Chains A and B, each alone.
Chain A
Amino acid sequence: MTEPAVTPALRPLEGLGRWATELVESLGRFGSFLAQALVALVTPPFKLWPLMGRIHYIGFRSLLIIALTGAFTGMVLGLQIFLTLSRFGSEAFLGPAVALSIIRELGPVLAALMVTGRAGSALTAELGIMRITEQIDALTVMALSPMRYLVAPSLLAGLITFPLMTALFDVIGIFGGYLVGVELLGLSEGTYFGEMQSFVDMGDVMTGFWKSVSFGIIVTWVCTYKGFHVARGAEGVAQATTQAVVLSSVLILVWDYFLGTVLP
């Protein structure tokens, strides 16, 4: 049966309807992809070596960029917050201000953004190339689940490495603030770290931890999904990589705001 012709006046409405249907469909595919990956993650046989490979790929190879961005973020914060606090004669609060900013907010967000740029994009490109060169199909017809071999290990590696990299970012960032505040601008070491101990509690650390865990899921989920569903050759890989980085980055910032309003 053929569909009745749409009058020109109703065409924009038809276009809107089609867009909405496609959006809902793609959200469904996106959600079902995560569900399949989670099922593969918790059902045996568990694949240790692919997981170790992914931890190395996402975590270990991002260490340098995390250390660099952590150090300079801490140093910039140390400088700017010191200059601001000195106007009110409150330089003593430099330590807690730097630590709280980094632990609660900048550590998880910036670490996630950096890993998205370095490892997330590479993850999408790698899976995309595997898709267009039929390597994913080859796994499927060998009766070996690509979800178990390619996606689930990335997801678990994200869960493990993002909190660790955030912790590293936090430590190096706080040390960067120390270098500027204490070594360069003359604040006493005792004041910097002593006030920090008074103002930063476990709740702040846990806020940063939960953020990093959720960012780990978001980045690996988006990047593997985009890579897994690449079409149209090299151009498709380039497009998917860009989309993965942009979507991950936007979701990190939106989710960060949401978590910021929910977590203590």
Chain B
Amino acid sequence: MIKVSRLRKAFNGQPVLNGIDLDVPDGSITIIIGRSGGGKSVLLKHLIGLMRPDSGRIEVNGVDLGGLRGRALDEVRKRYGVVFQSGALFDSMSCRDNVTFPLREKFRLTRTNINRRVDRALEQVGLAGIGDKYPEEVSGGMRKRVAIARALVTEPEIVFFDEPTTGLDPVLVNTIHRLILDLHRKLHFTAVMVSHEIPEIFEIADRVGMLHEGRIVELGPPAVVQGSTNPIVQRFIHGEPDEQV
């Protein structure tokens, strides 16, 4: 369970997160939506411990991330898998080595065991035959799949997705969403995703949170958010431009 309370963050005096309250139940897919530049990725970076809040608490299974440093923070991160917006694959390694890397470095496993788990992870994302291709030699969609395989190969409890479908065509967007849903059903991880793929995300989310001007203005099951009476939520969902442009 992830619980965020009164989280605040400002850059150069400019508030970006303005008192976020959010809870992510175990085993759910929670998707944070909101305008570009609205602080979604900043919120995600706080959840994965890459940024420290100015105030507020982020609890993961009852442990306050804000009070952790070094190895203690790494212990929490060992339960994480993260899929970055750009994929963040190591470009000096082949796609397969990218997936192998966290297993080889974080766990004491035999070579056979590592190969078996890597094969399984690549198969799960439909890339069994990726071979020794490098990230620059494969398409954007395949890079996203490799990034998902790398995030899931360690069998994490919580997986964070930072706009995993950015830059993909609508077919690939749906393919990646379906893949995430399938993997979630098989592996039962807790997923936190930042996205602005409307309306596709309503088909895979258990809960949707709308972030606006540094606050969660709506949070609940997709049907509740879609039926929200909040005009900010409705304008965003229907892609209506701001009144003052």
Contact = CB atoms under 8 A, between A and B. Distances in A.
Contacts of B84: 134, 137-138
Given A135-B90, A138-B90, A143 B50 contact: no
A133 B136 CA distance: 13
A165 to B, nearest CB: 23
**Ordered nearest first, which 4 A-B pairs have the shortest CB separation?**
A143-B74, A134-B88, A138-B88, A143-B77
Interface in A97-133: 133
Contacts of A137: 50, 84, 88
Contacts of B48: 141
A138 B82 CA distance: 8
B16 to A, nearest CB: 16
Given A140-B50, A141-B48, A141-B50, A133 B106 contact: no
Contacts of B82: 138, 141-142
Interface of A: 133-135, 137-138, 140-144
Given A142-B105, A143-B78, A135 B50 contact: no
Nearest to A148: B105
A141 B78 CA distance: 8
A133 B91 contact: yes
Contacts of B78: 143
A144 B48 CA distance: 14
Interface in B45-92: 48-50, 74-75, 77-78, 80, 82, 84-86, 88-91
B86 A134 contact: yes
A144 B106 contact: yes
B15 interface: no
Contacts of A142: 77, 82, 101-102, 105-106
A151 to B, nearest CB: 16
A137 B105 CA distance: 16
Interface in B100-116: 101-102, 105-106
Contacts of B88: 133-135, 137-138
Contact of B105 (A138, A140, A141, A144): A144
18 contacts: A133-B88, A134-B86, A135-B90, A137-B50, A137-B88, A138-B84, A138-B90, A141-B77, A141-B82, A142-B77, A142-B82, A142-B101, A142-B106, A143-B75, A143-B80, A143-B106, A144-B102, A144-B106
B80 A141 contact: yes
Nearest to A47: B105
A49 to B, nearest CB: 11
Contacts of B75: 143
Given A133-B91, A143-B77, 12 more contacts: A135-B89, A135-B90, A138-B82, A138-B90, A140-B50, A141-B49, A141-B82, A142-B82, A142-B102, A143-B78, A143-B106, A144-B102
A134 B48 CA distance: 13
B158 to A, nearest CB: 11
A28 to B, nearest CB: 17
Nearest to A45: B105
Nearest to B45: A137
Nearest to A132: B86
A138 B91 CA distance: 12
A55 to B, nearest CB: 16
Contacts of A138: 82, 84, 88-90
Contacts of A135: 88-91
A137 B83 CA distance: 11
A169 to B, nearest CB: 29
Contact of B86 (A133, A140, A144): A133
A134 B83 CA distance: 11
B40 to A, nearest CB: 15
B65 to A, nearest CB: 12
B212 to A, nearest CB: 25
A36 to B, nearest CB: 10
Nearest to B85: A134
